[in-house]
Structure 1
């Protein structure tokens, strides 16, 4: 018995998230740049908005770090699950699915950090956009390819 499209989508989103992280870490290695503080800052802002006390600063910093990573995984998996629901009965070509998935996650992430005041994408330089775009394209390609592989031939959504 086949899993529901939402489960296949969530699996595809998890694979995509792994690809995004690998590409991001390879960028850190290749350019010897520091890791982004954006996930931690986003987690901190969300905790502030929710009036959630993360404890004393040393513990709070560790919690922000962990929450930032968890939020990234949750976003990628949820986006895949949503895609699974929306694409279950449609035949979406893999390149289009990759663009929709990668672009959707990028818009969600960038929109969130802008709304929370963590960063303003309008001020980003071209290199900043590439550093954001390339991992999200990797997410989209990996998630779309996984979605395609998981769906039975008669019900494949792309």
Structure 2
């Protein structure tokens, strides 16, 4: 397989990640809710599991705050690459593809924070689920729309 579907998938995933972040930050602004600490805690747990020293606590905290969003983009780009591998052979209708891609990335993220014992989605309230579902749907829509734009039907 040529690299083009992988590169296009990565680009689509990066665009989707940007959309997810914009929707999440708008939610923070509109509802005046605090930003999530889950990205930084994920970095903390992963660094601990990998025995990676992030330095003295003041520097480690700064590194975690930088690496948390990077980890989010890496997840979004990886989701786009996976989508590129699956969608390179046939066109999937936008609503279905957006739901599957957004839901898949959300499932991967939520299962990882559950496995790391950072959060348990079974205890979330409806507003917590909405704060997770809506940005991931925005991710899926933006990523699939970008994919379709980069790879028009032949």
TM bucket normalised to smaller: over 0.9
**Structure 1 partner of 2:94:** 94
**Structure 1 partner of 2:25:** 25
**Structure 2 partner of 1:128:** 128
Cα deviation, residue 105, structure 1? 0.6
SS in 1 for 2:23: helix
Question: Which whole-Å CA distance do the structure 1 matches of 2:3 and 2:43 have between them?
Answer: 32
Cα deviation, residue 152, structure 1? 3.2
**Structure 2 partner of 1:61:** 61
Q: How does 1:38-57 map to 2 (within 5 A)?
A: 38-57=38-57
Q: Give unpaired runs (5+ residues) of structure 1.
A: none
Q: TM-score, normalised by structure 2?
A: 0.97
Question: Which whole-Å CA distance do the structure 1 matches of 2:112 and 2:65 have between them?
Answer: 17
Moved over 6 A (4+): none
Question: Which whole-Å CA distance do the structure 1 matches of 2:92 and 2:122 have between them?
Answer: 31
Q: Give unpaired runs (5+ residues) of structure 2.
A: none
What do you get for the CA RMSD once the two structures are aligned? Answer: 1.1
